[in-house]
Amino acid sequence: MPDKLRLVQEWLAKGGHDLEAVRLLLRAGGPADVVAFHLQQANEKYLKGYLISHGWRLKKTHNLIELVDKAAEYESSFGDYLDMAGRLTAYYIKSRYPSGPPADYPEEEIAEMLKQTEKLITKIREATK
């Protein structure tokens, strides 16, 4: 398997593990801030895999807006995920760095972020086959 393809598959697999963690945490009634963290991580890793598949040089960033903007340069419909990217990036920052008690995001908000994440991941999987 060529190096680039293997690297793309590794990023997607790691993102898949974060998505699996989200589902396990939700079933177990896990903390909302930890669920949100793993949602952000799943999106970040899938987006990085997609971008690498298009020749993007890996960059250390956790900003999903930046990654979605870059993905939209290759496929404009990625722009549909900018709102989700902004919200998940904010979740990530809040979950990583203490600034008071852990966030308790509404269940409906997490469910919507998961639904959008699943759509984005399906899109990326189809584009990286």
pLDDT, tens digit, 9 for 90 and up, residues 16-32: 999 999 999 999 999 99
> pTM of this prediction?
0.94
pLDDT for 1 beyond 60: no
Element (H, E) at 43: helix 32-53
Report long-range pairs for 70-76 (Cβ below 8 Å, ≥24 apart).
71/47, 74/50, 75/127
Contact between 91 and 37 under an 8 Å Cβ cutoff? The reply is yes
pLDDT per position as a tens digit, 94-121: 877 777 667 788 889 999 999 999 999 9
- The superfamily (CATH) of domain 3-127 is Nucleotidyltransferases  domain 2 (1.20.120.330)
Question: For the chain, which residues make up each domain, given as ranges?
Answer: 3-127
pLDDT per position as a tens digit, 42-81: 999 999 999 999 999 999 999 999 999 999 999 999 999 9
